[in-house]
Chains A and B, each alone.
Chain A
Amino acid sequence: MSRRLALVGCVVLASGVALGCSVIGDPGGTPDGLPHGGSGVFRLLSIEETGIVGSLPGRAMALRGVAIESAMRAGDHLFYTHQDLVDEEATPPDDHPEQEVYQPAFGPREIHRAALRDEGVGAFDAGPRILAASEPWEGAAVFDPWAIALPGGGALLYYAAEGGIGVARAPSLDGAFTREPGPVLGPDGGAAPRRPTVVVGPDDAFWMYFDAGDGIGVARSEDGLSFTRVDGLTVEGEDETDDSGELRLANPGAVRVETRAGRVLVRLYVESVRDDGTRLAYLLGSEDGLAFDRFPRPVMEQGDVRFPAPYLVDDRVTFLYANLPFVSRGFQTRAVTVAVAPAGESFAPPVDESM
């Protein structure tokens, strides 16, 4: 009798477990957490995300009466070309191009360094000057900064000036920069190089990409100080949305990417200068630093994007700092903005539901 009871108990227990488990359902997961290259398309961060209130979405630094041309982020610092408004009475002529800074109203370009804000994401407080033109080859201005932290310690700051590209050295990104003899890259029979952007390439050498006036130029260095021009940069890939002629690629911003699959890539964000006056931001990618693929669509929807400068947040998220038109005190100027890819990534603070 006890055996039968035990048997019945086993059956009831097993059946109960089976039926009980069978009603443990859940509504199912959502397909988030998917991999993304973080290469684009970018979305301007919102005011809530940057924390810079009373301004345009995506603005990465609030400055009045200042023109900010190129900017780039290295570590927790933003290096940018700064111009103070010096002549509020200056009036641009009628034929002055729209969305261009009216230079006579502003002082000479110099390089400043800003520190990351305590609040918000990706935005900076204005910072002090760290470099102004002082060498004969530099002429009246220094601009287009690009700073890198060296793997073994120290930092290098590349910049453009009248006579080419120079470099300054500091013990760290937030240290005092001291010029190296320059320029490290001068004119090569044509226009002086502009907008240097330097990465440690797949071969662990320093690769400098720059605006050569008629396209993107390349130079290579073993030590980051002595560069030799390299020929052979190619770009392949169709532009799916091309509805106006591309005149040239300009003002590159580079980043070294180490993918989770163990590859080292160079990504280059560039301006596509069009014959209708627009400047669209495009992405190029390369495994060897010379042969580039082209992403077939602009990576920002804005039509006048300049000096795109990528910053890797992690292996999935990228910030793209870029220069967009902005009007300050009635003057056409430029503002540095920050955008994010993947566009669905959100940094907005959570809503306090108790309010």
Chain B
Amino acid sequence: MRALVPALLALLALLAPSLAGAQAMDTYGMGARSTALGGAVAADVEDFSANYYNPAGIVRSGQLRVGAGWFGAHHDLSMNDVASNVDPVHGIVVGLNVPGQIDDFRFGFGLGVHLNDQRVSRTRSLPRQRPRWEFYDNRPQRTYLSTHLAIQPWPWLRIGGGIGFLSYTATQLTIRGAIDITSPERGSRLEHSLDGELITIRFPQAGVQVQPTDWLDFGVVYRGEYALSNDLTATVGTRELGSPDSVVIRAGDLTIPGYLSLLTASTNSYSPHQFVFGGSVRPIPELRLSFDLTWLLWNLYQSPLGRSNVELDIIVPPELADMIMVPDSITPGEPVDAFFQDRVVPRFGVEVTALREPDVRLDVRAGYFYENSPIPEQRGYTNLVDSDRHAFNLGAGLELFALRPLLPGSLSIDLYLQYSFLPERAHRKVLTVDAVGDYVAGGHIFAGGATVEARFE
């Protein structure tokens, strides 16, 4: 109990801002070893990928661990057998586990980073009805950066947690001046200003590892919900005539004041509450079996199809009333419910030690997970495309010991390949005159990566 008090204080200290966001990790995993095991590592993860899979594992080994690597995924997804051209995702992964100890109380600090090499973050608002691969087209295009703290009050119990940060954009565009439609190049004078903000949000992540024996482990993880908004406000002119911010359209001697206000607000990316329950067993030293079950509360999803509002006010002179038609009103866009369902993801992992020598060890790994699609058949207006996913993983890891004085510890080199099969899924529209119509969607995802991790005694 004496150890728990500073531990809880330390965890509370983590409520101060840090920076994190879990997107590519949710889909493709983090770290070559953990991904090769299908992500079934919540019970006993201890390398730098603990910063994503279970922060309690940061303190497990009691060693300073520094890892880096590369990861990439190629999407071969199609709708009606036509390639959807979903962007690939690739980038650098970096992690750090730093141990500490006060008397018998062991603690650790962790840092995990996934940095896309194409873009740090992408915000995309698509036309409401356009089909899009909801989980692969835009969501993985995020940077993951997290910090965690973990403690080990007793040898059989480890607790870890942290709070992540993500950002969303709020942009305001203002245009003022005059447009001469008879001589647009010479007579027009427009000024614009753009005000964009990256606004941060926070979400928590916490985990527990319980090790009743040296061959059996259990883990529980919670990852918090977050939703990234994408707000855009555009204003052209003002309703006040003569104001410096007004916009007028000139046609010869005629002057037509105009005003346009456009507001769009949507949820650009959403990640639900996640609960992970995991177990790992080592019946013999050379064999490790693991199983995770992840429950994702997708039923709370806020639809990416947000609201929009357009106000258009143009005072047309009587001379042009027959030529220029201004609509009385423009129907605002309302958010469309997505009706997602919860997802339960089983994960399996097998690790076999194929070679164990005093100065080298070789492990081979295999993993599998199945993600049922939380998205219902798209029978109405929306076209949020997804399919179930079967992910098969293979990997290997080479750990070198006895490296002193070059390295006072060991060095691991891990590789993995992941193949995901998304069986074709049919979407049949209720309305037989739907503009998009019925379609089938499916495909394959190929991913792979390598990491190098140094462990310091």
Task: Choose from B70, B119, B437 the contact partner of A36 (Cβ within 8 Å).
Answer: B437
Known contacts A7-B403, A7-B411, A25-B118; decide if A33 and B82 are in contact (CB<8 Å): yes
Q: Which B residues are in CB contact (< 8 Å) with A11? A: 411, 452
A contact residues around B78 at 8 Å (CB): 33
Interface centre among A8, A25, A260, A262 (most CB of B within 10 A): A260
Please, what's the 1-or-0 string for A13-40, where 1 marks a CB less than 8 Å from any CB in chain B? 0110111011111101111111111111
* Interchain CB contact under 8 A, B411 and A316: no
Q: Which residue of chain A lies nearest to B93 when distances are taken between CB atoms in the complex? A: A18
Please tell me if the beta carbons of B411 and A24 are within 8 angstroms of each other in the complex: no
In the complex, identify which listed stretch (A131-139, A206-214, A283-291, A322-330) lies at the interface while the others stay far away.
A283-291
Separation of A239 and B292 alpha carbons in the complex (Å): 52
Complex Cα spacing A147 to B130, Å: 36
Q: Does B85 contact A (CB under 8 A)?
A: yes
How far is A202 from B135 in the complex, measured between Cα atoms in Å?
35
Smallest CB separation, A283 vs chain B (Å): 5
Interface flag for A261 (CB, 8 Å): yes
Asked if A33 and B436 sit within 8 Å, CB to CB, the answer is no
Interface membership of chain A positions 26-60, coded 1 if the CB is closer than 8 angstroms to chain B and 0 otherwise:
10111111111111100000000000000000000
Known contacts A7-B406, A30-B85, A35-B79; decide if A21 and B435 are in contact (CB<8 Å): no
CA distance in complex: A8, B403 (Å): 10
* Neighbouring A residues of B297 by C-beta, 8 Å: none
Quick check: A293 and B440 within 8 Å, CB to CB?
A: no
Q: Which residues of B contact A40 (CB under 8 A)?
A: 435
A33–B79 touching, CB < 8 Å: yes
Considering the complex, give the chain B residue whose CB is closest to the CB of A14.
Answer: B452
Interface string of B86-97 (1 = CB under 8 A from A): 111011100000
A31 touches B440 (CB 8 A): no
Asked whether A36 lies within 8 Å of B432 as measured between CB atoms, the reply is no
Is residue B400 contacting chain A, with contact meaning CB distance below 8 A? yes
Q: Does B330 reach chain A (CB closer than 8 Å)?
A: no
A170 touches B (CB below 8 Å): no
Contact count A vs B, C-beta below 8 Å: 136
Residue of chain A at shortest CB distance from B425: A261
Interface centre among B80, B90, B131, B400, by most A CB within 10 Å? B80
Are A285's CB and B439's CB within 8 A? no
Which A residues lie within 8 Å of B457 (CB)?
Answer: none
Q: Are B431 and A285 in contact (CB under 8 A)?
A: yes
- Of A25, A33, A36, A260, the residue contacting B435 (CB under 8 A) is A36
The answer to whether B91 touches A18, judged by C-beta atoms less than 8 angstroms apart, is no
Those of A237-283 within 8 Å (CB) of chain B:
237, 259-263, 265, 267, 283
Q: Is A4 an interface residue (CB 8 A)?
A: yes
In the bound complex, do residue B80 and residue A285 qualify as a contact, i.e. CB atoms below 8 Å apart?
no
A23 and B84 within 8 A (CB): no
CA distance A267 to B433 in the complex (A): 8
Structural contact, A33 and B84, CB atoms closer than 8 A = yes
- Answer whether residue B190 sits at the interface, using C-beta atoms and an 8 A cutoff: no
- The CA-CA distance from A35 to B411 in the complex, in Å, is 49
Interface string of B402-413 (1 = CB under 8 A from A): 010011000101
Chain A residues with CB below 8 A from B86, complex form: 29
Assuming the A-B contacts A259-B428, A260-B440, are A37 and B435 also in contact, with contact meaning beta carbons closer than 8 angstroms in the complex? yes
Cα-based distance from A39 to B84 in the complex (angstroms)? 21
A39 x B438 contact (CB < 8 A): no
Q: Is B65 engaged at the interface, CB distance under 8 Å to the other chain? A: no
In the complex, what distance in Å separates the CA atom of A316 from the CA atom of B92? 40
| Contacting residues of chain B (46-83) with chain A, CB-CB under 8 angstroms | 68-70, 72, 78-83
Task: Give the nearest-CB partner of B452 in chain A.
Answer: A14
Asked whether B437 lies within 8 Å of A37 as measured between CB atoms, the reply is yes
B436 near A22 with CB under 8 A, answer no
- Whether B361 sits at the interface, judged by CB under 8 Å, is no
Docked CA distance A32–B78 (Å): 11
The CB with the most chain B CB atoms within 10 A, among A21, A25, A28, is that of A21
With A14-B452, A28-B87 as known contacts, state yes or no: A38 contacts B437, CB within 8 Å: yes
Asked whether B132 is an interface residue with its Cβ less than 8 Å from the other chain, the reply is: yes
Of A14, A22, A261, A316, which is within 8 A of B428 by CB? A261
Query: Separation in Å of the A236 CB from the closest CB of chain B?
Result: 10
Which residues of chain B in 194-211 are interfacial with respect to chain A, using CB atoms and an 8 Å cutoff?
A: none
Residue A315 at the B interface, CB < 8 A? yes
A202-B403 Cα distance, complex, nearest whole Å: 74
Once the chains are docked, how many angstroms separate the CA of A173 from the CA of B386? 43
Q: A15-B68, A23-B117, A33-B79 are in contact. Are A237 and B438 (CB under 8 A)?
A: no
Most A CB within 10 A of own CB, among B68, B70, B79, B126: B70
Say yes or no: is A334 at the interface (Cβ < 8 Å to chain B): no
| A169 CB–B CB distance under 8 Å | no
Which residues of A have CB within 8 Å of B434? 37, 39
A295 touches B (CB below 8 Å): yes
The answer to whether A31 touches B130 (Cβ under 8 A) is: yes
**A294 an interface residue at 8 Å Cβ cutoff?**
yes
Task: Decide yes or no whether B426 CB sits under 8 A from chain A.
Answer: yes
* A176 close to B (CB within 8 Å): no
Residue in B closest to A8 when the chains form the complex, CB atoms: B406
Chain B: which residue is nearest A265 at the CB level?
A: B432
Chain B nearest CB, measured from A303 CB (Å): 15
A170 to chain B, nearest CB (A): 32
A-B pairs with beta carbons under 8 Å apart, 19 shown? A11-B411, A15-B68, A17-B450, A18-B69, A18-B92, A22-B70, A25-B118, A26-B88, A28-B118, A30-B85, A33-B84, A35-B437, A36-B437, A260-B80, A260-B426, A261-B426, A267-B433, A285-B432, A293-B433
By Cβ-Cβ distance, the 6 closest A-B pairs, closest first, are A37-B437, A285-B432, A29-B85, A259-B438, A261-B438, A35-B439
* Given A11-B452, A21-B90, A31-B132, 19 new contacts (CB under 8 A): A4-B406, A7-B400, A18-B68, A18-B92, A21-B72, A22-B70, A22-B91, A24-B117, A26-B118, A31-B126, A33-B82, A33-B83, A34-B131, A39-B437, A262-B426, A285-B431, A292-B432, A294-B433, A295-B433
